[in-house]
């Protein structure tokens, strides 16, 4: 399915020309600089030299350096950017190389990094414009013509013990665990990179951990985590699966640490998490999880193989057992036979507009909302599993967050650091919800506000200095400079900047501060820490966005897939967001990454020990 939120083609001839013409008349604002000689070689495609161009990415400006000789683009290098590591890396790697290899600007964006891709290409266009390039000619791409030979694609077959479908957090956890339990593993990933939603996540990992919680004065227990997860999902989650989740949370965190992953020494309350038990990795976003798995896989490359751009289309069955898959690769068909079994770890369907609209029975309209998900989260694994009679649970349970970037729907740019030290106000400057409530409660309240738009407001307690980073590794001063956050020395000035009533904003902060003092709140809030009373004050805009799909394939505690009659489908396992029945109607914040790690680890062990 085509992703409505992405750029299938980042740049076109008309877009290039429009951009060049618009910039030609305002050269003072162009970031292009030239070291080229003034003389132009006749008949040359470019004026030889080194040029730079700067364009907007998702997190700020991207500056690219382009070197050309008279007839070719010879080098493209990123000079400076603030794009998120792990998410944009492939764009900076692949796009410049594709431009050089094809000597063309007609290159595709990198899936999952479309805004970064657009910024890279636009910066290159600006540099090449200064080099005297014919942008229209460089933007033309010849159509591929069928030669009529009718030649079939090459078929490549593989044999392995364990096959994992999906190279996100759950799939890589399963691959590592399967290998640790003695199996040879192949991982198929339809995207051009590993990481899935995990690598772009906020990274919070919920588990009961006295070693970190007790020094902070936090009382917690496995039973409380179970209760909050069960009740937080309207008691619709499977209690056995929830118990498996919460009891294995801390041992799984220790498993990650045993492989070199580092977590910070303190816990916090993540949005909708209900309790301070969220662990934050030292590395930004979800890169710590993926880096840990990838490092292990590289160290054991003889036994674990990852194939990218391998889009699985069909589960192969024999005598009622899953024995492998058929997949489309780049210009080839891939067939993988798995002697022990197959683990489905393809994630949810938050990026599939048609699928979420078809299953939605809870929200008014999900057709126009953006998503926090990467573009590969299209529910393919759920569809394939259903085709072999796997049972599906809770498909109507789709989680929205009130924390989407107004432009992209992503979590990037979110200025909150934790639940306790910030408030939400609407476009009138008024609080409207318990900011420590469940995610569905907060989002439902936001949907009732004008333009379904709100502001997060907080102060210096969250950002001690301008170089403090948010949960997505973005520097607060950079967000302010880019116009994605606002900063002021008074609440009245902040109100003026964001266009809300100053008296209302001051009253909203006073209401919160009274709650800090008294522990009571007009909206029923109970999670507090510091008052919002110390400048500078900050605000950031947020809108509703599709975040998580709680429904999916039914599994048992060993992650074996169950059919519509409740029977195990031999050789078939599943883990992560592709599964259903664990979280119920609502997932607690911070429970996703522990879910994929716990059940990914269990899946790897279960399939490796398959007789």
Q: Give dist(CA 338, CA 136) in Å, integer.
A: 49
Q: Give dist(CA 235, CA 227) in Å, integer.
A: 9
Q: Give dist(CA 417, CA 469) in Å, integer.
A: 9
Does the pLDDT value for residue 295 go beyond 50?
yes
Question: What is the CATH number assigned to the segment(s) 402-545?
Answer: 3.90.700.10
| % of the chain beyond a pLDDT of 90 | 80
Residue 403's closest CA among 550, 261, 580, 543?
A: 543
Does the pLDDT value for residue 147 go beyond 60?
no
Tell me what pLDDT residue 4 has: 37
Averaged pLDDT for residues 156-181: 98
Question: Residue ranges of the domains in the chain?
Answer: 20-138, 155-200+286-397+550-608, 402-545
Quick check: 138 and 44 in contact, CB under 8 A? no
What are 9-28's pLDDT values in tens digits? 443 433 443 443 343 333 33
| % of the chain beyond a pLDDT of 70 | 91
pLDDT band at 39 (very low <50, low <70, confident <90, very high): very low
Structure tokens that stand for 362 in this block? 């809870």
More confident of the two residues 533 and 20: 533
What are 309-324's pLDDT values in tens digits? 999 999 999 999 999 9
Helix (H, G, I), strand (E, B) or coil at 72: coil
pLDDT band at 38 (very low <50, low <70, confident <90, very high): very low
pTM: 0.83
Does the pLDDT value for residue 370 go beyond 90?
yes
Q: What CATH number matches the domain at 155-200+286-397+550-608, 3.30.70.1090, 3.40.190.100, 3.50.50.60, 3.40.50.170?
A: 3.50.50.60
Tell me what pLDDT residue 36 has: 43
Averaged pLDDT for residues 93-114: 87
What are 228-285's pLDDT values in tens digits? 999 999 999 999 999 999 999 999 999 999 999 999 999 999 999 999 999 999 998 8
- What one-character-per-residue DSSP string does 216-255 give? GT----HHHHHHHHHHHTTT-S-HHHHHHHHHHHHHHHHH
Does 432 sit behind a cis peptide bond, omega within 30 degrees of 0 on the bond before it? no
Q: Give dist(CA 253, CA 240) in Å, integer.
A: 20
212 given a catalytic annotation: no
Range name among 104-108, 190-194, 588-592 with the lowest pLDDT average: 104-108
Does the pLDDT value for residue 35 go beyond 50?
no
pLDDT band at 60 (very low <50, low <70, confident <90, very high): confident
- C-alpha distance from residue 51 to each of 28, 41, 207, 278, 585 (Å): 16, 17, 51, 46, 54
Tell me what pLDDT residue 24 has: 35
Q: What is the average pLDDT score of the chain? A: 90
More confident of the two residues 52 and 41: 52
Residue 245's closest CA among 601, 562, 551?
A: 601
Q: Give dist(CA 159, CA 444) in Å, integer.
A: 49
- End-to-end Cα, the chain, rounded Å: 37
Phi/psi at 355 (5° precision): -70, -45
What are 449-482's pLDDT values in tens digits? 989 999 999 999 999 999 999 988 899 999 999 9
Does the pLDDT value for residue 519 go beyond 90?
no
What are 430-455's pLDDT values in tens digits? 999 999 999 999 999 999 998 999 99
Does the pLDDT value for residue 374 go beyond 70?
yes
User: Choosing from 356, 422, 439, 587, which is the catalytic residue?
Assistant: 439
Tell me what pLDDT residue 178 has: 98
In CATH, what class is 20-138?
alpha beta
Tell me what pLDDT residue 437 has: 93
Instruction: Match 């399963």 to its residue by tokens.
Output: 174
């Amino acid at each position: 399915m085509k992703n409505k939120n992405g750029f299938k083609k980042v740049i076109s001839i008309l877009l290039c020309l429009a951009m060049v013409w618009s910039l030609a008349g305002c050269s003072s604002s162009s970031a292009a600089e030239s070291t080229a000689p003034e003389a132009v070689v006749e008949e040359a495609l470019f004026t030889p030299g080194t040029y730079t161009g700067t364009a907007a990415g998702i997190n700020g400006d991207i500056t690219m350096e382009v070197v050309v000789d008279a007839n070719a683009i010879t080098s493209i290098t990123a000079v400076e950017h603030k794009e998120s590591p792990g998410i944009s890396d492939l764009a900076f790697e692949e796009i410049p190389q594709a431009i050089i290899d094809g000597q063309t600007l007609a290159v595709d964006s990198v899936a999952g990094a479309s805004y970064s891709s657009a910024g890279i290409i636009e910066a290159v266009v600006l540099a090449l414009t200064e080099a005297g390039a014919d942008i229209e000619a460089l933007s033309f791409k010849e159509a591929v013509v069928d030669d009529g030979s009718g030649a079939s694609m090459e078929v490549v077959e593989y044999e392995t013990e364990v096959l994992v479908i999906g190279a996100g957090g759950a799939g890589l956890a399963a691959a590592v665990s399967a290998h640790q339990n003695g199996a040879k593993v192949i991982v198929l990933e339809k995207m051009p990179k590993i990481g899935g939603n995990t690598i772009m996540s906020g990274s919070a990992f919920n588990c009961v951990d006295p070693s970190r919680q007790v020094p902070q004065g936090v009382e917690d227990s496995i039973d409380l985590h179970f209760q909050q997860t069960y009740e937080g999902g309207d008691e619709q989650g499977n209690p056995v699966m929830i118990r498996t989740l919460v009891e294995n949370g801390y041992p799984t965190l220790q498993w990650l640490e045993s492989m070199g992953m580092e977590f910070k020494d303190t816990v916090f309350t993540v949005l909708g998490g209900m309790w301070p038990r969220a662990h934050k990795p030292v590395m930004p976003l979800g890169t710590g999880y993926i880096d840990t798995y990838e490092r292990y896989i590289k160290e054991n490359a003889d036994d674990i193989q990852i194939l990218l751009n391998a889009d699985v289309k069909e589960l192969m069955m024999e005598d009622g057992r899953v024995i492998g898959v058929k997949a489309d690769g780049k210009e080839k068909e891939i067939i993988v036979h798995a002697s022990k079994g197959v683990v489905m770890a393809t994630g949810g369907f938050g990026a599939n507009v048609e699928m979420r609209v078809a299953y939605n029975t809870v929200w008014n309209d999900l057709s126009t909302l953006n998503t926090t998900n990467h573009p590969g989260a299209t529910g393919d694994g759920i569809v394939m599993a259903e085709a072999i009679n796997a049972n599906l649970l809770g498909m109507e349970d789709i989680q929205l967050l009130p924390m989407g970037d107004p432009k992209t729907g992503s979590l990037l740019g979110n200025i909150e650091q934790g639940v306790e030290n910030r408030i939400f106000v609407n476009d009138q400057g008024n609080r409207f919800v318990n900011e420590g409530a469940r995610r569905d409660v907060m989002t439902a309240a936001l949907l009732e506000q004008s333009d379904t738009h709100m502001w997060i407001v907080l102060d210096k307690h969250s950002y001690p200095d301008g170089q403090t980073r948010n949960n997505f590794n973005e520097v607060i001063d950079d967000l302010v400079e880019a116009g994605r956050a606002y900063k002021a020395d008074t609440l009245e000035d902040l109100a003026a900047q964001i266009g809300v009533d100053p008296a209302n904003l001051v009253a909203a902060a006073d209401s919160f501060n009274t709650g800090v003092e008294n522990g009571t709140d007009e909206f029923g809030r109970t999670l507090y820490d510091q008052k919002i009373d110390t400048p500078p004050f900050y605000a950031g805009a947020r809108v509703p966005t599709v975040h998580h799909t709680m429904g999916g394939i039914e599994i048992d505690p060993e992650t074996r897939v169950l059919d519509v009659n409740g029977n195990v489908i031999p050789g078939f396992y599943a883990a992560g967001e592709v599964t259903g029945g664990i979280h119920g109607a609502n997932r607690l914040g911070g429970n996703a990454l522990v879910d994929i790690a716990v059940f990914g680890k269990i899946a790897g062990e279960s399939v490796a020990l398959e007789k």
